[in-house]
Chains A and B, each alone.
Chain A
C-alpha cells in the first residue's frame, strides 16, 4: 500500500476490515453466550401473572396484592399482580392474543369471553365448584361466561350504578327520594332552575352506555330480540324512551353531558355543581378519602345512593361485569386456578369486597350478605341491584356483536342525537337501526360456530 488510507491516518492505528469484523463478531458471540450463563429466572415454572385494571378504589388492589403475597407464602407459587389503566386493557389483551403469550390470568370485559373464546381455557370445573360452594351464580353472570357450553372465565364482580344524589338539594326542592324516571324529571327540572342540574352522560364513554340502556329498557325498548340476532330497535317504546331523554336533557340536564368522559360525572358532583348522576360509588369514596367539603359541610354527609329509577316497563340496572379468564396458552394454568380458588374463598373474597368499599358487587349469592352493605347506610340499596341487572344486548344474550355495538356507542349516540335535536326521534331510531344492522350483519359472514 503506497497511499496511506485516510481513515487509518485519522484513527492512528492499523485497523483493517478483516480485523474489525473478527473482533466485532467475537464480541457479539460472547454477549450472546452470556445469556446462557445467567440463570433463567424470568419464567420459573409455577409463576402466576395476573393482569387487571387499576381499580378506581386503590384499596381494592392493595387487598388483592396482599392475597397474592399470602398465597405465595403458603404454596410457594409466586403470584404477580399487574395493573393497567382500564382504557388500555383492550389493546393489551389484543396484543397478547395475537402474540399468544403474556399473562396467565386476565381480567376480561363483558364481550371478551365470546371474542376470545378459542383462546381462553375451559374453567368449568372451578366455576361449578365455586357456584356450589357459595350459593350459586346470577343467571346473567352465567350467560356471560358460558360459551359453547363451557365456562370461559370466572365471573368476578360487577360495578353497581346507583343514582348518586345530593340529598340537601333534594330537600330544598321538597323531595325526599327518587323512585321513578318521572320523579327524576320533575325534581331535575326544579334543580336545574336552582343552578344544580342533573347529569346523565350522552357521549362516547362507559357510563352513558349504562344509563342509556337503563332508560331504554325501563320504557320497554330493546335493541335486539331474545334470539340475539334480530334488530328490534324500531318500536314505539324506543320512541318513548328517546322522548323522555329529550325532555330530561332540555329541562333538567347540563348541556355539557354531550362531551362527558367517564370521570366527568364524578367531577360534576365533587365540584358541588351537580345534583344527580348515575355512577358507581367511586364519587362517595373520593369524597370520603379526600374529605371534600361543599358549602362548608362534608360532601359524604350530603350524598346518598338510590336504586336506579323505575320506568313504565320496570326497573332496570346494568353494569360492566368483570370476568377472570385464563389464557389457554398460559404456562401455569393449574397454579392460576389454585390462586383463583384461594381468592374466591369466603374469607378472602369478603375482604376484597370490603376493601372495594361497595364498588365491587359480587356475582355469587352468598356474598350479598357481606357486612359492608350494612355498615354504611349509604350502601343499603346497592346490595339489591343484582336482581335488576341485565347486560347490554338484553333480552338477547351478550355476544361479540352486542359488544361491538357497545364499543361503537350506537345507543348513547342515538340518545344524544334525539336529545340534542340533531336528528328527529324517528331519524335517530332509523340511524341506530341501520348501524346496528351493519354490525350484526357480520354474523352471516363470520365463521360457523365450531361445535
Chain B
C-alpha cells in the first residue's frame, strides 16, 4: 500500500521493497566482489601470463601450467600435498570420531573437557607450530632427549632433516591442530541422535560395534561429510605449519601448494607462475565439493 496524495512518486519508488532490498545487501555484495571475486579473477588472469612483480607480463595461455607439469619440484609438491591431505584427513576422521564418542559419555567435568579439547584449534597456529618446531629441532629436541633418557636410542634422529620423518612431523602437527574441529562438529552430530534408537537396538541384541556401525555412523554421515569437506580444503591449502617447521624442505619433500606459491611467486617475484600453482587445485577442489554436497543431499530419512 503506497502513500497516496502529497508525496512524490520518487520516494514511493525508492521505498519499494524490491529496490530497497537490493540497496540493503549492496554492502555485502561490494565486499564479496572486492575481496573475493576480484582477487580470484586477478589470480586467473595472472596465471595465464608470465608477469613478474613490478613489470607488465604477456599473455601466454596455459604456458605456466605446462611448465609446472614438467617441473620436478612441482610434481614433488603435488605428491606431498596428496599424501599430506589424505593421511591427515584419514587419521583426523578416525581420531575425531573416537574423541567425539568419548566426549559424549557422561563423565564429571564434561564441560571442562569439551572446552579444553578446543585449545589446539584456538591457539594461533604459528605460535603452536613454533613450540612444535623447538620440540623437533636437531639441537634442542625434547623428543630426542626423552628417547635418549628412556634408553630407546643413543642419539635421537634428526627429525626435520629426514624427508620421511619431516613429513611425519608436519602431518602430526596438522592432526594435533585439526582434531578439535572434527571432535566438536561430530559431537554436535552425535548429540542429536535420539536415544530410543540405541535402546531399540540393545533390546534387539546388538553389541556396541553393531550399534556403532548401523546407528551412529549413518546418523552422523551428513555432519561427517561436511567436516571432511571443509577439512580437506583447509588441509590442502595449509601454509603456516609447513612454513614454520620446514619451509618446504628438506629437499622439497614437504612443500605444499601454499608454500611453493609463496616461494616462487612472492620471494622469487614470478607471480604468474605462483598464481598458476595456487590455482592448480581449483578444479580438483571443485569436484570434491560437488561430490560431497551430492552425498549430503542423498540422505533422505
CB neighbours of B71 from chain A (8 A): 434-435, 438
Q: Are A434 and B72 in contact (CB under 8 A)?
A: yes
User: A148 contacts the other chain (Cβ, under 8 Å)?
Assistant: no
**Per a CB cutoff under 8 Å, which of A115, A119, A203, A431 touches B72?**
A431
- Asked if A442 meets B270 with Cβ closer than 8 Å, knowing A97-B54, A255-B161, A267-B139, the reply is yes
User: A258 contacts the other chain (Cβ, under 8 Å)?
Assistant: yes
Q: Are A422 and B269 in contact (CB under 8 A)?
A: no
Q: Are B53 and A408 in contact (CB under 8 A)?
A: no
User: B237 contacts the other chain (Cβ, under 8 Å)?
Assistant: no
Q: Are A407 and B263 in contact (CB under 8 A)?
A: yes
CB neighbours of A254 from chain B (8 A): 138, 158
User: A135 contacts the other chain (Cβ, under 8 Å)?
Assistant: no
**Per a CB cutoff under 8 Å, which of A261, A420, A441 touches B251?**
A420
User: A94 contacts the other chain (Cβ, under 8 Å)?
Assistant: yes
For residues 47 through 81 of chain B, which have their beta carbon under 8 Å from a beta carbon of chain A?
50, 52-58, 60, 63, 67, 70-73
Q: Chain B contact residues: over half helix, strand or loop, or mixed?
A: loop
CB neighbours of B57 from chain A (8 A): 447
A420, B269: Cα distance in complex, Å: 30
For residues 21 through 64 of chain B, which have their beta carbon under 8 Å from a beta carbon of chain A?
50, 52-58, 60, 63
Chain B nearest CB, measured from A13 CB (Å)? 21
A17, B58: Cα distance in complex, Å: 52
- Asked if A435 meets B52 with Cβ closer than 8 Å, knowing A94-B269, A258-B249, A259-B249, the reply is no
Q: Are A115 and B264 in contact (CB under 8 A)?
A: no
For residues 133 through 190 of chain B, which have their beta carbon under 8 Å from a beta carbon of chain A?
138-140, 158-163, 166
Chain B nearest CB, measured from A338 CB (Å)? 26
Kindly report which residue of chain A lies nearest to residue B71, judged by CB atoms: A438
- Asked if A257 meets B161 with Cβ closer than 8 Å, knowing A404-B270, A407-B263, A442-B270, the reply is yes
User: B278 contacts the other chain (Cβ, under 8 Å)?
Assistant: no
- Asked if A98 meets B53 with Cβ closer than 8 Å, knowing A259-B166, A435-B72, A435-B73, the reply is yes
A147, B163: Cα distance in complex, Å: 40
Q: Are A115 and B56 in contact (CB under 8 A)?
A: no
User: A118 contacts the other chain (Cβ, under 8 Å)?
Assistant: yes
A94, B270: Cα distance in complex, Å: 11
Chain B nearest CB, measured from A273 CB (Å)? 7
User: B266 contacts the other chain (Cβ, under 8 Å)?
Assistant: yes
What's the tally of chain A residues with a CB closer than 8 Å to chain B? 49
User: A41 contacts the other chain (Cβ, under 8 Å)?
Assistant: no
**Per a CB cutoff under 8 Å, which of B56, B73, B158 touches A447?**
B56
Chain A nearest CB, measured from B140 CB (Å)? 8
Mask for A260-280, Cβ within 8 A of B = 1, else 0? Answer: 110010011001010000000
CB neighbours of B269 from chain A (8 A): 90, 94, 111, 115, 400, 403-404, 407
User: B246 contacts the other chain (Cβ, under 8 Å)?
Assistant: yes
Q: Are B267 and A90 in contact (CB under 8 A)?
A: yes
**Per a CB cutoff under 8 Å, which of A94, A260, A413 touches B53?**
A94
- Asked if A204 meets B247 with Cβ closer than 8 Å, knowing A256-B138, A438-B70, the reply is yes
For residues 213 through 271 of chain B, which have their beta carbon under 8 Å from a beta carbon of chain A?
246-252, 263-264, 266-271
Q: Are A416 and B250 in contact (CB under 8 A)?
A: yes
Mask for A239-258, Cβ within 8 A of B = 1, else 0? Answer: 00000000000000011111
Q: Are B158 and A255 in contact (CB under 8 A)?
A: yes
User: A417 contacts the other chain (Cβ, under 8 Å)?
Assistant: yes
CB neighbours of B56 from chain A (8 A): 447
User: A12 contacts the other chain (Cβ, under 8 Å)?
Assistant: no
Q: Are A115 and B247 in contact (CB under 8 A)?
A: no
- Asked if A261 meets B139 with Cβ closer than 8 Å, knowing A97-B53, A446-B50, A447-B56, the reply is no
Chain A nearest CB, measured from B30 CB (Å)? 16
User: A91 contacts the other chain (Cβ, under 8 Å)?
Assistant: yes
Q: Are B158 and A258 in contact (CB under 8 A)?
A: yes
Kindly report which residue of chain B lies nearest to residue A422, judged by CB atoms: B251
Chain A nearest CB, measured from B75 CB (Å)? 11
**Per a CB cutoff under 8 Å, which of A93, A94, A259 touches B160?**
A259
A90, B53: Cα distance in complex, Å: 10
CB neighbours of B140 from chain A (8 A): 267, 271
Q: Are B251 and A413 in contact (CB under 8 A)?
A: yes
CB neighbours of B60 from chain A (8 A): 445
CB neighbours of A438 from chain B (8 A): 67, 70-71
A446, B268: Cα distance in complex, Å: 15
CB neighbours of B54 from chain A (8 A): 94, 97-98, 115-116, 118-119
Q: Are B53 and A259 in contact (CB under 8 A)?
A: no
Q: Are A118 and B267 in contact (CB under 8 A)?
A: no
Chain A nearest CB, measured from B199 CB (Å)? 44
CB neighbours of A264 from chain B (8 A): 138-139
A273, B144: Cα distance in complex, Å: 16
The 26 listed contacts between A and B (C-beta, < 8 Å) are A91-B267, A98-B54, A115-B54, A117-B55, A258-B158, A258-B160, A258-B162, A258-B249, A259-B138, A259-B159, A259-B161, A271-B140, A404-B270, A407-B263, A407-B269, A408-B73, A416-B249, A416-B251, A420-B251, A434-B72, A435-B71, A438-B70, A445-B50, A445-B58, A446-B50, A446-B52
**Residues of A participating in the B interface, judged by any CB pair closer than 8 Å:** 17, 90-91, 93-94, 97-98, 111, 115-119, 202-205, 254-261, 264, 267-268, 271, 273, 400, 403-404, 407-408, 413, 416-417, 420, 422, 431, 434-435, 438, 441-442, 445-447
- Extra inter-chain contacts (17) besides given A91-B266, A259-B158, A273-B139, CB under 8 Å: A94-B266, A111-B269, A115-B52, A115-B54, A116-B54, A203-B250, A256-B158, A258-B249, A259-B138, A260-B138, A403-B268, A416-B250, A422-B163, A422-B251, A434-B72, A438-B70, A447-B57
In the complex, the 5 A-B pairs of residues with the closest C-beta atoms, listed nearest first: A256-B138, A258-B161, A259-B160, A407-B268, A97-B54
